[in-house]
Each structure stands twice: as structure tokens, then as C-alpha cells.
Structure 1
Amino acid sequence: MTAMPGGCACGRVRFEADVESDEAYLCHCRMCQRASGNVSLAMLGIAQAKVRWDGEPDWYDSSPIAHRPFCSVCGTTLGFAYRDSDKMDLTVAAFDEPSRFRPVHHFGAENIHESWINTSDLPRIRTDEHKSLVKRWVDATGEFPG
């Protein structure tokens, strides 16, 4: 078991989770798509007792059976929980080091947008190679956050 930190984009909500497995999944259900504004949401299932919040998240009542932790300041989606369960899901990208996790299945497969599943043949553009983006950062802060 590894204690792994994470949190929202602005840092108001932080957590530490005792992670036992690197097995995560991609959720394609319409609720996750709408909650994240994306075609899928990478999630890690975990017992709620293994998550310690530093800065309590806000909770959105996304349906009669579930709610979702998020940060009301920056809008970061942090997870999902059924109201009657001792388990929850945390968004993989909310972890400080998300590269540990790997997807092992798809959920909500009836809503998969197939054209977004295998994108490995698309051109790859690094942020530090995008000159106008780098210039914006340097002009605003004096450096590129890389």
C-alpha cells in the first residue's frame, strides 16, 4: 500500500489516498462525461476510509443515487461516490503522480465514442514546443512551467 497525494488545480482541496493497486478504469457513462466535460473519465476505485481530505471538497448531487467531490474554486472534478457505499472513485488525473495507474477496463461502454479510443497514431505536439504558449507563460510569469 502506498500513500499517494493529489488534489485540485488550485490547491484548495488536497487528499492522500492509501492505494493498493495500479488498476484503474475509463468511465464513459453520460454522467461522467457531463460531470467532466470529456468523452471519458479515468477513475480509481478505493475505499472511502482510505482517503483523507485536507480541505474538504464540495459535493455535487449528480443523481438520486450518487454525488461527486469537486473544488468549487477551480472546478476540478475529483471523483464519484454512491451514497450508500463505503467505496468511491477518485479521478486518476487528480493524483500528483497519475502515471502509476493503468486502465484495465471500460465502464459505460454503451456511450463510448470510438474515435477517441485509439489515438496513438495522431501527431503529438509537446507544450514546450508550442511557441505562442511558451511566450504567453514567459510574458505573464517570467518562465515556462515545465
Structure 2
Amino acid sequence: MPDVLQVLATSAALALIDQLRQQHGDLMFHQSGGCCDGSAPMCYPRNEFQIGDQDILLGHIGEQPFYINASQYEYWQHTQLIIDIVPGRGGMFSLEGPTGQRFLTRSRLYSEEEWRWLTHQKRVVQAP
């Protein structure tokens, strides 16, 4: 079975990531469990957001690290996160705000085969 990614991005999201990276340098993403932007990943200049003990590196999109808060991961651990864009304004501090587009997290359940592979590869992270 090919490598099963836990987070990936649509081609539209990858184009926006590239645009933002050209403007701001290296980026990072954080999926929090907050009430206001809980389903919207936030995009920051790399190293301008403090990663905490409760944050898990889930993977990379557009070669930029994607972290998720452990409490949010508990809800979504059985799903592949798919980062997309839609029209609108992003979170107040997210870099895509002025572009008229915002990042959005979609998800799909892993197949049984994918879940077994992730478990066997020890890619399923036990939340701290």
C-alpha cells in the first residue's frame, strides 16, 4: 500500500500556499480546537506561532508543517484531513485573510486498509 497521508491539500490550496510563501517566507499551519476557527486551519509565518506540548505534527502541505491540537486530533484521528480554500476571510491572524479566500478543513474517513497501515506504521499518534 502506498504511504497514507494524514493531511493533504487540494491544488487550489497548494496554489494559495505558494502565493503566501512567496510573500511571507516559510509558513506553518495550526488546526486548533478553538470555538471560533476550530474548523479553519490557521496559516502563520514559520516560527511566529508557539507550538505547545499539546500540538502534534500531522504532516506537511506544500512543504509547510501542519500541526493539530491534541484535543482536536482525538476527534479527527480516524480521518484524513483535506485542506481546501473557499471564498471569504480567514481567521483574524491567518495570513490568507487579505486574499479574499480562506483555508477550510474537509475530511474523509480512512478505509479499514488505510487505518491498518497507519496503525502498523505507528503513524497513529496517541494524544498526550
TM-score range, shorter chain: under 0.3
Determine which structure has greater relative contact order: mean sequence separation of CA pairs < 8 Å that are 6+ residues apart, divided by chain length. 2
TM-score of the superposed pair, with normalisation by structure 1: 0.23
Larger radius of gyration: 1
